[in-house]
A and B are shown apart, each in its own frame.
Chain A
């Protein structure tokens, strides 16, 4: 399993639980979950590229 796939899986579960915890209506849960998931993955990609020039 690739690191990226694990990242997606982790983001999915955390987004799911937060969305269900924060919102009561299924439609709102779906919207919040989608936003959180996108934010998680987007932030990971941006941070990954920002760290790319740094020496290992």
Chain B
């Protein structure tokens, strides 16, 4: 065994249970699902790029939006933020992402945070498709 998945192994459809676990892992740790599936290069890029985007968003004084159903756009931004998984949970646990509205980089920070979460959601969907043998 050389630890590398063959093309056949990569494209082999998996069972529903393991696919669900794979999706949850991919959500929690960006790129982990691709690493699990043997797509090492893709997994490493996601593992580095997405948390880095998230950290840059926090450094730019972006806000991790709260779930406020009375404000639909804020609620949607909150859902997007959660898309990054564990980095989001860590930031929330440490009280980061309060956002500083008066900072000139505030909107940029929000863009980085929201887009990092949305991109990770796309990454999870991609891994899901690969696991089901659709790609």
- Using CB atoms and an 8 Å cutoff, list the residues of chain A in contact with chain B: 1, 3, 6, 9-10, 13-14, 16-17, 20-21, 26
Q: Chain B interface mostly helix, strand, loop or mixed? A: helix
B46 and A17 contacting across the interface, CB-CB below 8 Å: yes
| CA A21 to CA B30, docked complex, whole Å | 13
Tell me whether A21 and B42 are in contact in the complex, defined as CB-CB below 8 angstroms, given that A10-B115, A14-B115, A16-B49 are known contacts: yes
- Using CB atoms and an 8 Å cutoff, list the residues of chain B in contact with chain A: 41-42, 45-46, 49-50, 52-53, 56, 60, 105, 108, 111-112, 115, 119, 122-123, 126
A6 and B119 contacting across the interface, CB-CB below 8 Å: no
The minimal Cβ–Cβ distance linking A43 to chain B, given in whole angstroms, is 15
The minimal Cβ–Cβ distance linking B55 to chain A, given in whole angstroms, is 11
8 contacts between A and B (CB under 8 A): A6-B60, A13-B52, A13-B53, A13-B115, A14-B115, A16-B49, A20-B41, A26-B41
| CA A16 to CA B52, docked complex, whole Å | 12
The minimal Cβ–Cβ distance linking B125 to chain A, given in whole angstroms, is 10
Please, which residue of chain B has its CB at the minimum distance from the CB of A17?
B119
Cβ 8 A contact of B105, one of A6, A16, A17, A21: A6
Q: Chain A interface mostly helix, strand, loop or mixed? A: helix
| CA A3 to CA B109, docked complex, whole Å | 12
Provide the residues of chain A in CB contact with B123, threshold 8 Å.
17, 21
User: A6-B105, A16-B45, A17-B50 are known contacts; what are 11 more A-B pairs with Cβ within 8 Å?
Assistant: A3-B108, A10-B111, A10-B115, A13-B53, A13-B115, A16-B49, A17-B46, A20-B42, A20-B46, A21-B42, A26-B41
Please, which residue of chain A has its CB at the minimum distance from the CB of B135?
A24
Tell me whether A1 and B111 are in contact in the complex, defined as CB-CB below 8 angstroms, given that A6-B60, A14-B119, A17-B45 are known contacts: no
